[in-house]
Amino acid sequence: MLKMANRFPIILPNRLPISAGVHNSASVSSFSIASCAQFSRTLKRSKNLSSYRVPRRLVFGIGVSFWAQFMNMAGNSSTSSIIASARTKGSVDQILENVQWPVQFPFKEEDFQRFDESSDLVFYQAPRFVTHIDDPAIAALTNYYKEAFPPSNTPGVALLDMCSSWVSHFPAGYKQERIAGMGLNEEELKANKVLTEYVVQDLNTNPKLPFADNSFDVITNVVSVDYLTKPIEVFKEMHRVLKPGGKAIMSFSNRCFFTKAISIWTSTGDADHIMIVGAYFHYAGGFEPPQAVDISPNPGRSDPMYIVHSKKLATI
């Protein structure tokens, strides 16, 4: 698995760094985290954090045992080797090439459990006008969008930014007649200048997208795919609202609100996350084979950044 430098320590109560967040709860102390994997390891070994302990399956998910089973089911010895040795951009970009997916969806219900199962609308009730990845990672994502997006002000083009916030990291000055946003905090969505409309909705309780079939040319989701507890339902909805040939772009790093990320995500590493998101596209159906791109700007020195993308199959 990829091992990226964790440049920030775990920060316990009452601090909110730029690249993380704070959760206040009666049963769980506030904390922020630079790396999901970092906190998972610390949680496992720290006596001082005994109050955080929950059943191993819930926190640490399926981990390595899942990938061993997955590769055995699919006969993916070459893909397993790529994941085990992925250290360079070239290796990461190959992870989703020629994957032999198992016939049946290989995930279980408990893989989508979370440390904190309370309402996401409550968790995100207070606005967080911060960014969750560092500036070099943001710049890398914006540069990717410059190449992937239709030209600004193209007639008839519409974009959807899922799990949106006060900023979407689109190229400066980028405009289309319709850029819709979906998120959990209305104040943040109101502040997002690129959006022409927005919807407040918790996709974990209602994965049905409130848009007509074949509405969007591009769907984006920035560092939030790890929070989806019903990913297949959401990806099927993404397929429905995309125009034929429309593109879905899932981007993610190694940072998260640990208590809200799903078990399978917090128990695995960066290269595995690429496989997980690729599996969502595959098992949702109707998408081209997903592709992975490593856009990490300064490996080991700034936040890693990965893209998994696919297009809706064109109708015949």
Q: How many CA atoms lie within 13 A of 26 on its CB side?
A: 2
Q: How far apart are CA 40 and CA 42, in angstroms?
A: 6
DSSP string, 141-157: HHHHHHHHSPPTT-TT-
What b/e sequence results for 145-173 when a residue is b if at least 16 CB atoms lie within 10 Å of its CB, and e otherwise? beeebeeeeeeebbbbbbbbbbbbbbeee
Please give the residue that has the higher pLDDT: either 66 or 218.
218
Q: How far apart are CA 143 and CA 165, in angstroms?
A: 19
Strand 178-183 to 158-162 pairing: parallel
Q: Please state which of the ranges 37-46, 219-228, 232-241, 272-281 shows the lowest mean pLDDT.
A: 37-46
Q: What is the pLDDT of residues 166-209, one digit of tens each?
A: 999 999 999 999 999 999 999 999 999 999 999 999 999 999 99
Phi, psi (deg, nearest 5) at residue 64: -65, -35
248: which 2 tokens? 């879905």
* Residue whose token pair is 């698995």: 1
Please give the residue that has the higher pLDDT: either 171 or 302.
171
Q: What is the mean pLDDT of residues 274-282?
A: 96
Q: Report CA 169 to chain centroid distance, whole Å.
A: 15
Q: Report CA 254 to chain centroid distance, whole Å.
A: 9
Q: Please state which of the ranges 35-49, 160-174, 241-255 shows the lowest mean pLDDT.
A: 35-49
Q: Does residue 84 carry a pLDDT above 50?
A: no
Looking at residue 76, what is its pLDDT? 53
Q: Does residue 254 carry a pLDDT above 80?
A: yes
**Where does the chain have alpha helices with state H?**
36-45, 56-60, 63-74, 77-85, 89-93, 120-123, 135-148, 186-191, 231-241, 263-266, 270-284
In whole numbers, what is the pLDDT of the chain averaged over residues? 77
Looking at residue 85, what is its pLDDT? 42
Q: What is the pLDDT of residues 9-29, one digit of tens each?
A: 222 222 222 233 322 333 322
Share of residues in the chain with pLDDT > 90 (%): 54
Neighbouring residues of 11: CB distance < 8 A, sequence distance ≥ 6: 17, 20, 31, 32, 33
| DSSP-based three-state secondary structure for 166 | coil
Predicted model pTM: 0.77
